[in-house]
Amino acid sequence: MDEAGRILGHSRGGPANHYQVGWSAAFTEIETAVSQAARSAGVQANDAAAIALALGGVDRPGERSMVKRLARSLWPRPALRVENDALAALVGGVGTAYGIVLIAGTGMIAYGVNEEGAHARAGGWGYRADTSGSAYTLGLDAVRAVLASHDGVGPTTCLEETLLRALNLSHIQDLIPWLYTADEHVERTAALAPHVLACAKQGDTVAVEIVARGADHLADVVWAVARRLNMDRRSIPVVLAGGVLVHSEFYRQAVTQAIRTRLPLAWVRLPQDTPAAGAARLAWETAGRSLPQWQPITTSERPTWTTEWPNVFTRNLDTRTAKEIVGLMHVEDTRAVRSMESALSAIATVVDALAERMARGGRLIYVGAGTPGRLGILDASECPPTFGVSPEMVTAIIAGGEKAIRFAIEGAEDDEEAGYEDVNRLHLTPMDTVVGISASGRTPYVRGALRAAREQGSMTVAIVCNMLSPMEEEADYVIRIPVGPEVIAGSTRLKAGTAQKLALNMLSTATMVRLGKVYDNLMVDVQPTNHKLRERARRILQTVTQLSPQEAERALEQSGWDVKVALVSTLIGCLPEEARQRLAKANGFVRHAVDIDGGKSST
């Protein structure tokens, strides 16, 4: 390439990753490709201003030193530069060293560079370690799914017929020698990816699950790189490269959708040039010619919320059979559960802060509209019988009032002042916590409620399913669950509702455990108000103490059907009154109450 960016000569070589072919074979290919490219341009490689070698398997200093030593022996005069091949793909894709490149071919890697020149990567560990998203893992997951279906432990799938036909095998048993004795096993497994993608595009739910899991993993590694480089809240280019992304529009759309669910400001695109051209630009930079600055794409159009997008995997839903619809819904519900992983740390942080406040008399108050409001009411109403707390300790309000529990109240969620006033009437204290729940993260009623809570000094939490949502401005803590597009566009009672319910389960349950409402994994503050709960109380006492059913019931009657008192009095052999005193000293924790004075009773 000349200084103006014109390609004067090019050539191709074979594999050059020394981990796959060894140093000698790798450099034979590199020397052949470089020398032939120079000859096709009518020059000698040794007369170049600079040579950049962008290779796989050269991330460590020792490996780069080896490449430079071998290259210097061939070309002593040019300036030399050794980089990971992903950097060349980024520069070729964007035109400069800024942004993130996602490469998914036989293997996969995400690689990024920020404005300060810091680099980060995720994935790229090779076919034995990369978990999902590459052509190889798509093919291998399909083979595993076919075998599971054949064994009767997985659902039926069109993949069996498709893969056998693609591999020219007559019976599923023939997969065994193919798996374990075939030459070039990795490449042949990766070659199955187009067949898996074709089955997924047709709506086969097993193939859809494989492809969706791969798309989500690729998006996760891009997101991980963006967070590491502090680029996750900026407008950045994300280049999609590698055969399985470049050649499959369907997979590219699925991956793009997954990336923009996590990084709504990302500009996802195909490469504008090849990685080889990117390497040549890196060589010119080494020779003193600066790479251009990336120019952000500006638009006045506001990005739509991902929960409102049509889902790539559920197109033509109205033409599907009942079995296919149910299967696709199951796939998306599974994705909703997986999306919780990125929110677990935030939930745990909120639990610690919430438990500290509730231990000092604070209340937990859920606020929502529509489905999120009903979910808040459900979780709040289950806490008193499960954990023995008062209804005032965990409560919920819904836009439109009690009537909205059963009926849609038009316009209630749009009334920000109503949310503000409803929370103001609760007379909050700094020990109280208000949790706003909204799939979109922009519900005016919930925003008003959080604003009122902040003004009164209470802790505020937002549970949202869109990234960079307006509700974040009103919350001390934000729990972001990137569920992505719904089965039916905008129907957030589905995946978003599932994820919000899971988050509320974790929030209230983990907090109650931290408050001593659980001993071991038993709900020892259960209120035995009916036959089922009295039976549960007996089983809890028997499980811990090995009492007979009659002895357990007698101990519960003596303690006034207080499971904690019955436990402590039985475990250390004291009267119920002493057990109550111990529990009071231990702030209600059974384990601590038993350990007071080494577990010795004073009676």
Q: What is the pLDDT of residue 462?
A: 98
* Residue with the larger pLDDT of the pair 304 and 399: 399
CB count, 10 Å around CB of 275? 22
* Cα–Cα separations (whole angstroms), residue 324 to 212, 258, 464: 15, 22, 29
- Between CA 248 and CA 104 the distance in angstroms is 11
- Between CA 492 and CA 70 the distance in angstroms is 58
- Decide if 241 contacts 89 (C-beta within 8 A): yes
- Decide if 526 contacts 385 (C-beta within 8 A): yes
- Between CA 98 and CA 237 the distance in angstroms is 8
Backbone dihedral region of 552: left (phi > 0), alpha (psi from -120 to 50 degrees) or beta? alpha
Q: What is the pLDDT of residue 299?
A: 59
* Cα–Cα separations (whole angstroms), residue 603 to 124, 240, 561, 568, 594: 66, 74, 21, 13, 14
- Any idea which residues carry the catalytic annotation? 382, 413
Of the pLDDT bands very low, low, confident and very high (cuts 50, 70, 90), residue 300 is low
CA angle 519, 523, 527 (to 5 degrees): 130
Q: What is the pLDDT of residue 584?
A: 94
Q: What is the pLDDT of residue 365?
A: 98
Q: In this structure, are strands 50-55 and 477-480 parallel, antiparallel, or unpaired?
A: unpaired
* Token code pair at residue 413: 């969620």
Among 299, 303, 301, 279, CA closest to 291:
279
Q: What is the 3-state secondary structure (H, E, C) of 250-272?
A: HHHHHHHHHHHHHCCCCEEECCC
373, containing H or E segment: helix 371-387
CB count, 10 Å around CB of 345? 10
Mean pLDDT, to the nearest integer, of 403-421? Answer: 92
* Token code pair at residue 4: 């103006």
Among 232, 236, 211, CA closest to 221:
232
Is the model's pLDDT at 64 over the cut of 70? yes
Task: Supply the mean pLDDT for the chain.
Answer: 93
Domains, the chain, in order of start with CATH, read: 1-84 (3.30.420.40), 96-271 (3.30.420.40), 338-514 (3.40.50.10490), 531-599 (1.10.8.1080)
Which ranges in 49-126 belong to alpha helices (H)?
61-74, 85-94
Among 514, 536, 535, CA closest to 524:
536
Q: What is the pLDDT of residue 432?
A: 98
pLDDT digits (tens, 9 = 90+) for 461-494: 999 999 989 999 999 999 999 999 999 999 999 9
End-to-end CA distance of the chain: 92
Of the pLDDT bands very low, low, confident and very high (cuts 50, 70, 90), residue 600 is confident
Mean pLDDT, to the nearest integer, of 520-526? Answer: 92
- Decide if 263 contacts 467 (C-beta within 8 A): yes
- Between CA 87 and CA 100 the distance in angstroms is 9
Which residues contact residue 62 at a Cβ distance below 8 angstroms, ignoring those fewer than 6 apart? none
Of the pLDDT bands very low, low, confident and very high (cuts 50, 70, 90), residue 410 is confident
Which residues contact residue 424 at a Cβ distance below 8 angstroms, ignoring those fewer than 6 apart? 452, 456
Q: What is the pLDDT of residue 580?
A: 95
Q: What is the pLDDT of residue 304?
A: 67
Q: What is the pLDDT of residue 316?
A: 94
Mean pLDDT, to the nearest integer, of 98-125? Answer: 94
**What's at 314, amino acid-wise?**
T
Percent of the chain past pLDDT 70, that is, above it, reads 98
Q: What is the pLDDT of residue 182?
A: 65
Q: What is the pLDDT of residue 601?
A: 78
Q: What is the pLDDT of residue 39?
A: 95
Which ranges in 314-361 belong to alpha helices (H)?
322-339, 344-358
Q: What is the pLDDT of residue 19?
A: 85
pLDDT digits (tens, 9 = 90+) for 216-241: 999 999 999 999 999 999 899 999 99
Of the pLDDT bands very low, low, confident and very high (cuts 50, 70, 90), residue 296 is confident
Q: What is the pLDDT of residue 184?
A: 66
Mean pLDDT, to the nearest integer, of 535-558? Answer: 94
Of the pLDDT bands very low, low, confident and very high (cuts 50, 70, 90), residue 508 is very high
Q: What is the pLDDT of residue 183?
A: 63
- Decide if 451 contacts 424 (C-beta within 8 A): no
Q: To the nearest 10°, the Cα dihedral for 179, 183, 184, 185?
A: 0
- Between CA 487 and CA 202 the distance in angstroms is 16
Q: What is the pLDDT of residue 181?
A: 77
- Where does residue 290 rank: exposed (0-12), middle (13-18), buried (19+ CB within 10 A)? exposed
Q: What is the pLDDT of residue 301?
A: 56
* Token code pair at residue 355: 């438990």
- Between CA 341 and CA 223 the distance in angstroms is 13
Give the chain's radius of gyration (CA, Å).
30
- Decide if 369 contacts 445 (C-beta within 8 A): yes
pLDDT digits (tens, 9 = 90+) for 237-289: 999 999 999 999 999 999 999 999 999 999 999 999 999 999 999 999 999 99
* 11-25, 28-42, 331-345: least confident range: 11-25
* Residue with the larger pLDDT of the pair 415 and 603: 415
Of the pLDDT bands very low, low, confident and very high (cuts 50, 70, 90), residue 597 is confident
Mean pLDDT, to the nearest integer, of 14-42? Answer: 92
Mean pLDDT, to the nearest integer, of 156-170? Answer: 94
Q: What is the pLDDT of residue 311?
A: 96
- Decide if 140 contacts 178 (C-beta within 8 A): no
> Which residue is it, tokens 């994300």?
238
